[in-house]
Amino acid sequence: MRHLRAASDVASARFSLEERFAAVQAEARRSFSRSDSNSGTIFCLVRMMNEEIPNLTAFDEAALDEAFALVERQARGDAAALDGDAAVEAFRLKWLGTKQGRLKEVSARWLKVAPPEAKKALGMRFNALKPVVEGLLDAALGAGPNDAALAAEAIDITLPGTRRLTGAEHPITRTLNEITSVFAALGYSVGVGPEVETDFYNFECMNFPPGHPARDTQDTLVVAGQERRPQRDRLLLRTHTSPVQMRTMESQPPPVRIVIPGKVHRNDAADATHSPIFHQVEGLCVDTNITFSDLKGTLDHAMKALFGSAVKTRFFPSFFPFTEPSADVQISCIFCGGKGCRKCKNSGWIELLGCGMVDPAVFAFAAEKQPGYDPKKISGFAFGMGVERIAMMKYGVSEIGQFYAGDMRFLGQFA
């Protein structure tokens, strides 16, 4: 019987089916006088196997899951060991036989003793187990999966799919790219530089000497713990993209035509039109015989390209340390066409950017590394504009914070 018990262990891989049959037949011969009867052998096999169905003592979900998983494992183990048509037929009788099949036994024994409240859960598991066993038989017979198995894995292609949101450029990125592309069409290349800069590049070489009051106009965020360094080596968050002007001139001789888009930082309190982090596009053009007329023509063209050909520009004297002479550029109000409205404070003009001819002092710093920037031989202009301000005008946004809030209801309008 020790041998028989081992043979009846359906999960056991140690005995082939023939060995099991031989053992069962031997037992059948001892138990039944009809020793030659094949049905007797199978009947005996079924009786043996059915004894492995445990009696259910608990009917909670976990216990039912475990019990059904055990039966399914046994069926799969049986099916995996099948070889030959006779074995397949034996499998069919053992598991799906209408009188003594194991499923019949499971249904009869477990359902019978189940308390009424557990019958539904039990029935559902039984209904799921049956197509699995039938599928195993079909697979053994060389057929494909049965209808129930197919139905279980069917996909309803008429159901609505998961909709993915369309990706789109952030309005700031889009505006930045628009400005850049206007100048790219004029032959400008694009330059970038570090956001953590030295005092030298951010201020000194841009003609903001140490202690110069112009530094106070750019409330600067400095990196802590820099006191031991010489002033020009101390690190800070760049307050404008101008340092990239110098980095570009140091790396290449004239002529230069470059636009510099990028993020800048100032210790400004956030309000409707200010943010401590914002974006600038700066431009630099250096060559022989560059004049203020070139600057005016370039910026007039750029403003028309950005805001429409009806836009007019005008230049007012101003001051920036790194340009001389310097100018503020105003464009005719794009909202009222110059008649005067609330947006332009009834002036008909909107101030948009700063510009000027590059100060010879800046060229002198560049000439330390690139002698070609001799202020006696070359000249150039520079300009800079705030990207947020232009984006707010173009898209009618009144709160700068909306660009950074990450609110999809706002950003979705630009998709």
C-beta closer to Zn ion: residue 231 or 273: 273
Classify residue 268 by its DSSP letter: P
Q: Interface with Zn ion by CB under 5 A: which range of 44-52, 161-169, 176-184, 329-337?
A: 329-337
C-beta closer to Zn ion: residue 336 or 411: 336
Closest distance of CB 383 from Zn ion, Å:
23
Give the count of residues interacting with Zn ion (CB under 5 A): 6
C-beta closer to Zn ion: residue 146 or 273: 273
CB atoms within 10 A of CB 158: 5
C-beta closer to Zn ion: residue 59 or 335: 335
333 part of the interface to Zn ion, by CB under 5 A: yes
> What is the number of alpha carbons within 13 Å of residue 81 lying toward its C-beta?
23
Note if the bond before 255 is cis, omega within 30 degrees.
yes
Residues paired with 265 in a beta bridge: 277
- Which residue is closest to Zn ion by CB? 333
Q: How far apart are CA 189 and CA 248, in angstroms?
A: 11
341 part of the interface to Zn ion, by CB under 5 A: yes
Q: Which of 139, 149, 221, 336 binds Zn ion (CB under 5 A)?
A: 336
What are residue 276's phi and psi, to 5 degrees? Answer: -65, -20
Closest distance of CB 396 from Zn ion, Å:
13
Percent of the chain that is helix, strand, coil (3-state, to 5): 45, 15, 40
C-beta closer to Zn ion: residue 81 or 336: 336
Taken in order 295, 301, 303, 305, the sign of the CA dihedral is negative
Contact 194, 238 (CB under 8 A): yes
Closest distance of CB 344 from Zn ion, Å:
3
Q: Which of 344, 353, 362, 390 binds Zn ion (CB under 5 A)?
A: 344
331 part of the interface to Zn ion, by CB under 5 A: no
312 part of the interface to Zn ion, by CB under 5 A: no
What are residue 352's phi and psi, to 5 degrees? Answer: -125, -35
Closest distance of CB 227 from Zn ion, Å:
49
Tokens coding 162: 């998961």
Closest distance of CB 336 from Zn ion, Å:
3
311 part of the interface to Zn ion, by CB under 5 A: no
C-beta closer to Zn ion: residue 244 or 334: 334
Closest by Cα among 190, 162, 146 to 284: 190
**Local structure of 23: helix, strand or coil:** helix
Tell me the residue type at 245.
Answer: Q
Residues of the shown chain interacting with Zn ion in the complex, contacts defined by CB under 5 A: 333, 335-336, 341, 343-344
